[in-house]
Structure 1
Amino acid sequence: MTVTTLGLPEVRRDRQAVPADMPRSGPLLDTFGRAATDLRVSLTDRCNLRCTYCMPAQGLDWLPADDLLSFEETTRLLRLAVTRLGIRRIRFTGGEPLLYRRLDDVIAEAARLQPRPEIALTTNGVGLAQRARSLAAAGLDRVNVSLDTVDPQYFATITRRDRLGAVLDGLDAAAEAGLGPVKVNAVLDPASGPADAVDLLRFCLLHGYQLRIIEQMPLDADHQWRRDSALQGDAILAALRHAFDLRPDPAPRGSAPARLWLVDGGPATVGVIASVSDEFCAACDRTRLTADGQVRNCLFAAEETDLRGVLRAGGSDADIELAWRTAMWRKAAGHGINEPGFVQPRRPMSAIGG
């Protein structure tokens, strides 16, 4: 079997001087005054689907097992994030986090932290029907399920797997387990996307789910993303307006990535996450931890900071905190996708975490 090799990410392993003006305590700040309170934790880069906009049909070279954080290393970093860095929300991602062997345990450990963070999960939904109740019992608060179409044929084409029924069962189980509000994350195919958007919103309104449509971003393993072929936010809204009355939600958006619209007068909403055409970097409150222990201060960052190395070299909690703060202090003003010199990250989304 042929696999696509990702190459090594750009990792900061140097010992640059800590910025003199960087706060050593309090919120996890950058130089633009943004405080990171939302931690995205990738537990694995493995996935059981092969979505066309994420990875090639033949799969990828997965990260070596020895490079992955152990359960103990992961939970130590979670503790430091909450107790020393001010993290208030943790979202577990992948790859596909349901493939992580100790998912229930890591959620339970996060739920024991004080102050207790809000705990969420982003999943493709395959296998969720069998896990929803145990995840809720472990302490999971809510779930986002990736679903790009409710058409079985399109689903099989996009994901290269015939698993739509399993995903729909997973959504039902999540709602029954109280993991609400259950959100549906959709990345639309350029060809079928306008029709899929309408069908997805009807489906979500019927079942009480919240739809979030996400612009396709330059994070595919094949580096085939092209701006002119991806559906942008305006086109998505135009497609939805053929079937629904959409009005801007008057509630403050805050740091939420989705711009919300009231559907047919509300209270139901639909969200559009237009990361490319309507960036929201100025309000970003996220810090990211990859499955192999690298901090990324932006989804599109070209550099990473190696916390795994600090951990395995016997670093203290203070050493880890300082490395994490320094990484976030250097965060750029924006992702730079719309700049002439933008270079797509070498890691795809599956190796970064959503």
Structure 2
Amino acid sequence: MLDSYAREVDYLRVSVTDRCNLRCKYCMPAEGIESLGHTQILALEEIVRLVRVAARVGIRKVRLTGGEPLVRRNITDLVAQIAAIPQITEIALTTNGVLFADLAAELKAAGLTRVNFSLDSLEPDCFHYITSRGNLIDVTGAIAKALALGLAPVKINTVVMKGINDHEILAFVRLAKEMPLHVRFIEFMPVGDLPFYQTDRMVSVSEIKAIIAQQYDLYSGPAVQGNGPAKCYQINGGLGSIGFISAMSDHFCSECNRLRLTADGKLRGCLFGKQEINLKMALQNGASDEKLAHLFSKAIREKPRCHHMSEGWGADNKRKMYQIGG
């Protein structure tokens, strides 16, 4: 379905939980959160019903996010039920990787087609500083498992933060050169009002490219499957590729094709926006599939032209990243 700006919206990101087994500084407070109660989040059958309705208005790709989606019980059953919806052509997962290796084969058998790993450091000490818990070796093992299972393309999402992990940019490029991975460098974004966000932590895509150019020649390459906003580059002689997501310095709103469904059932047209449609309440009030389809269509029609982060809207958006699904 086309929105008001002639963008085809065919992609739904579904946050299945606000819980996480890590405490990444830009996403969740170190002391943790008061998680949503069982009755506050969408039940498994509610998620499946909403995806089925979304498919009626043109959604074809679904990505499961969190929090950390793999801490949600029965996540494999959810993947299988969504994969069984005829119109859905792709079901992907964004995970921190800590729990992935043990579930990987089961998830693929259920219908998972692709996986993205959120990984901001290849150094154990820096990894622990950013995440506050977890083991890097579990994540690197999970990436190897995904490659072995053929869940291609396997992507790594890396948020670059000045003075934290920007010294590892070339190490991530080297990883993409030596392995068939698509590494995507993401500009640090002020989502929510966490004290960790400071404007001087942001490293722009142009700065990242300048660092890479010191050692590597990149050339424009074909888009990677399901690549969304990333601008893709090949590495000369490399097995993998590099992508850049410039959400702050050069936004990609004109090409945005997605809606976001939060764990508590709010439908959003923009990661950075404040407008939401409460689908959980609609379900509780006995909404028919036709009514739900109307609400999805409304969200698509009212999807904003672009975000306004440069105008200081980030601080007004009180939802943290773990509450939206990234």
User: For residue 301 of structure 1, what is the aligned residue in structure 2?
Assistant: 273
User: For residue 16 of structure 2, what is the aligned residue in structure 1?
Assistant: 43
Any residues of structure 2 matched to 1:122-201 within 5 Å, and which?
Answer: 122-201=94-173
Counterpart CA distance in 1 for 2:157 and 2:237 is 22
Any residues of structure 2 matched to 1:49-60 within 5 Å, and which?
Answer: 49-60=22-33
User: For residue 325 of structure 1, what is the aligned residue in structure 2?
Assistant: 297
Counterpart CA distance in 1 for 2:152 and 2:223 is 19
Conserved in 2, the CA contact under 8 Å of 1:299 and 1:352?
A: yes
1:108 and 2:80 aligned:
yes
Conserved in 2, the CA contact under 8 Å of 1:195 and 1:239?
A: no
Conserved in 2, the CA contact under 8 Å of 1:120 and 1:142?
A: yes
1:91 and 2:27 aligned:
no
1:30 and 2:3 aligned:
yes
Conserved in 2, the CA contact under 8 Å of 1:253 and 1:259?
A: no
Conserved in 1, the CA contact under 8 Å of 2:153 and 2:225?
A: no
User: For residue 232 of structure 2, what is the aligned residue in structure 1?
Assistant: 260
Q: Which one has the largest radius of gyration?
A: 1
How far did residue 159 of structure 1 move? 0.7
User: For residue 245 of structure 2, what is the aligned residue in structure 1?
Assistant: 273
Percent identity between matched residues is: 40
How far did residue 228 of structure 1 move? 3.0
Counterpart CA distance in 2 for 1:174 and 1:289 is 26
Deviations 1:240-299 (A, max 9, x none): 112211223366999821011221266632001010101000111001111111100100
1:64 is aligned with what amino acid?
G
Deviations 1:113-159 (A, max 9, x none): 11232010000000111010000000000100011111111111111
Q: Structure 1 regions of 5+ residues with no counterpart?
A: 1-26
2:25 is aligned with what amino acid?
T
User: For residue 79 of structure 1, what is the aligned residue in structure 2?
Assistant: 52
Residues paired across the two proteins, number = 326
Counterpart CA distance in 1 for 2:227 and 2:96 is 24
Q: TM-score, normalised by structure 2?
A: 0.95
How far did residue 235 of structure 1 move? 1.1
Conserved in 2, the CA contact under 8 Å of 1:187 and 1:216?
A: yes
Counterpart CA distance in 2 for 1:119 and 1:253 is 12
Q: 1:335 aligns with which of 288, 296, 307?
A: 307
User: For residue 69 of structure 1, what is the aligned residue in structure 2?
Assistant: 42
User: For residue 282 of structure 1, what is the aligned residue in structure 2?
Assistant: 254
User: For residue 288 of structure 2, what is the aligned residue in structure 1?
Assistant: 316
Deviations 1:162-221 (A, max 9, x none): 410111111111111221111111112311433211111212332321101111111145
Counterpart CA distance in 2 for 1:340 and 1:287 is 22
Conserved in 2, the CA contact under 8 Å of 1:218 and 1:344?
A: no
Conserved in 2, the CA contact under 8 Å of 1:194 and 1:239?
A: no
Divergent runs of 4+, >4 A: 250-255, 340-343
Query: Are the structure 2 counterparts of residues 318 and 49 from structure 1 closer, same or farther at C-alpha, using a change threshold of 3 Å?
Result: same
Query: Are the structure 2 counterparts of residues 221 and 176 from structure 1 closer, same or farther at C-alpha, using a change threshold of 3 Å?
Result: farther
Conserved in 1, the CA contact under 8 Å of 2:272 and 2:314?
A: no
Query: Are the structure 2 counterparts of residues 50 and 193 from structure 1 closer, same or farther at C-alpha, using a change threshold of 3 Å?
Result: same
Conserved in 2, the CA contact under 8 Å of 1:300 and 1:344?
A: no
Counterpart CA distance in 2 for 1:152 and 1:77 is 40
Query: Are the structure 2 counterparts of residues 229 and 132 from structure 1 closer, same or farther at C-alpha, using a change threshold of 3 Å?
Result: same
**What is the SS of the residue equivalent to 1:210?**
strand
Q: TM-score, normalised by structure 1?
A: 0.87
Return 192-201 or 56-65, whichever deviates more.
Answer: 192-201
Q: 1:244 aligns with which of 216, 219, 229?
A: 216
2:58 is aligned with what amino acid?
G
1:79 is aligned with what amino acid?
R
Conserved in 2, the CA contact under 8 Å of 1:276 and 1:337?
A: yes
Counterpart CA distance in 2 for 1:336 and 1:118 is 30
